[in-house]
């Protein structure tokens, strides 16, 4: 049995797991207080802190580095790359340390994986389908302003893992099907997957696409410009209105879908109006992705944490099932997806890519 260590650092937590093959045997989410994280000026200053936590957790379980077949880290903010499983190398580590596309705790995953892999006797260290996966068709990159080309930044790990599972359930390979995959979470990304490549996807990070629990989504452009230059808000305040305080938070004062649905159940007409508008915007983005696939869509897949909401997924399905059958895969099992990416390489199903 191939034993894997999975490392997934977040802003306020470190998720770690031990897998034997595709089966998780130990999982842990270690939360970090604001005081713990606040003592570090830069993300990479947290490196030793996070490493020591992981090694202590392994030691408490009696898991030695020498027992590992590979170490897998959550991909960081690298330069744009195609999807797949990548070997951690020096160029990747240098770009993560430099923060070529920004600083985030996920940038720590690859160097942490590399150090532990070396301690394990030189086993492979991998990352899988990071958020910077870019397989967009060239015409999909064009926006209305040459200075602002569209960028591919999305929930690549969960979207591609869900797409592979759906294809397998259809008795086909991922590279044989066309799918529209909708990640429903704090951000909403909708990808057009054509035969294993995401040829078009909204950049939820920068505000494209539907609103989300905390993000405003697409807005009237001149309205945003006028808001920014109204002198009522600072640049930071406008940015937070778009990402962080937009969407459900702006309309209803909460980012909790459970809270919104509770209000709807109690007869709150405004909550129902906003939640239905939320579903409509997502459905319209699904239709846009179907156009990118020229209408040839085998399945529409709804995944992510909000896919647990039968009300939301039901409304989206009502408006999109004319495109293709709709299947729901609730949740976002990143650790499983990372393990599966490594196993595809270790089992000879795929070749590891070089950054």
Same domain, 30 and 101: yes
- State yes or no: pLDDT of 186 exceeds 90: no
Share of the chain above pLDDT 90, in %: 87
- If asked whether residues 121 and 88 sit together in one domain, one would say yes
Write out pLDDT tens, residues 9-18. 988 889 999 9
Same domain, 237 and 315: yes
**Distance, CA of 291 to CA of 281 (rounded, Å):** 16
Instruction: Answer whether residue 37 shows pLDDT above 90.
Output: no
The CA-CA-CA angle for residues 150, 74, 204, to 5°, reads: 25
Q: Are 59 and 115 in contact (CB under 8 A)?
A: no
CA dihedral of residues 215, 204, 30, 309 (deg, nearest 10): 70
What is the 3-state secondary structure of 64-133? CHHHCCEEEEECCCCCCECCCEEECCHHHHHHHHHCECECCHHHHHHHHHHHHHHHCCCCCEEEECCCCE
Q: What is the pLDDT of residue 204?
A: 83
The model's pTM: 0.91
Q: Is residue 161 in some structural domain?
A: no
**Residue 239 main-chain phi, psi, to 5 deg:** -60, -40
CA distance 2 to 163: 24
In CATH, what number is assigned to the domain containing residue 320? 3.30.420.40
pLDDT at 103: 87
> Tens digit of pLDDT for each residue in 60-112?
999 999 999 999 999 999 999 999 999 999 999 999 999 998 888 899 999 99
Q: Verify that 180 and 323 share a domain, yes or no.
A: yes
Together in a domain, 340 and 325: no
CA–CA dist 310, 184 (Å, integer)? 12
Range of the domain at 109: 3-134+334-354
pLDDT of the residue at 76 = 92
Identify the residue with better confidence: 338 or 37. 338
- Check whether residue 278 and residue 308 sit in a common domain: yes
The structural domain count of the chain equals: 2
């Amino acid at each position: 049995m191939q034993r894997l260590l999975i490392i997934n650092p977040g802003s306020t937590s470190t998720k770690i797991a031990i897998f034997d093959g595709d089966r998780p045997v130990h999982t842990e989410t270690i939360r970090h207080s604001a005081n713990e994280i606040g003592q570090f000026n830069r993300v990479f200053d947290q490196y030793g802190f996070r490493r020591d936590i992981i090694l202590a957790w392994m030691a408490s379980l009696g898991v030695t580095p020498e027992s590992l077949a590979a170490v897998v880290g959550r991909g960081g903010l690298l330069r744009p790359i195609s999807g797949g499983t990548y070997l951690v190398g020096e160029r990747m580590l240098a770009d993560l340390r430099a923060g070529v596309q920004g600083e985030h705790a996920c940038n720590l995953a690859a160097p942490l994986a590399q150090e532990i892999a070396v301690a394990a006797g030189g086993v492979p260290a991998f990352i899988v389908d990071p958020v910077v996966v870019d397989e967009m068709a060239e015409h999909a990159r064009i926006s209305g302003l040459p200075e602002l080309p569209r960028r591919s930044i999305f929930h690549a790990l969960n979207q591609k893992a869900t797409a592979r599972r759906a294809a397998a359930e259809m008795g086909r390979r991922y590279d044989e099907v066309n799918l529209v995959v909708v990640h429903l979470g704090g951000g909403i990304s909708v990808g057009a997957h054509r035969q294993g490549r995401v040829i078009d996807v909204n950049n939820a990070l920068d505000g494209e696409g539907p609103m989300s629990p905390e993000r405003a989504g697409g807005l009237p452009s001149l309205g945003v410009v006028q808001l920014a230059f109204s002198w009522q808000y600072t640049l930071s305040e406008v940015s937070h209105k778009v990402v962080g305080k937009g969407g459900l938070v702006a309309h209803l004062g909460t980012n909790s879908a459970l809270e919104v649905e509770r209000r709807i159940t109690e007869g709150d007409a405004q909550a129902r109006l906003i939640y239905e508008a939320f579903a409509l915007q997502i459905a319209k983005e699904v239709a846009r992705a179907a156009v990118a696939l020229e209408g040839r869509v085998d399945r529409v897949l709804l995944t992510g944490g909000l896919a647990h909401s039968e009300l939301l997924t039901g409304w989206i399905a009502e408006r999109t099932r004319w495109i293709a059958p709709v299947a729901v895969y609730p949740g976002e099992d990143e650790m499983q997806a990372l393990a599966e990416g490594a196993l595809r390489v270790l089992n000879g199903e795929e070749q590891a890519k070089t950054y």
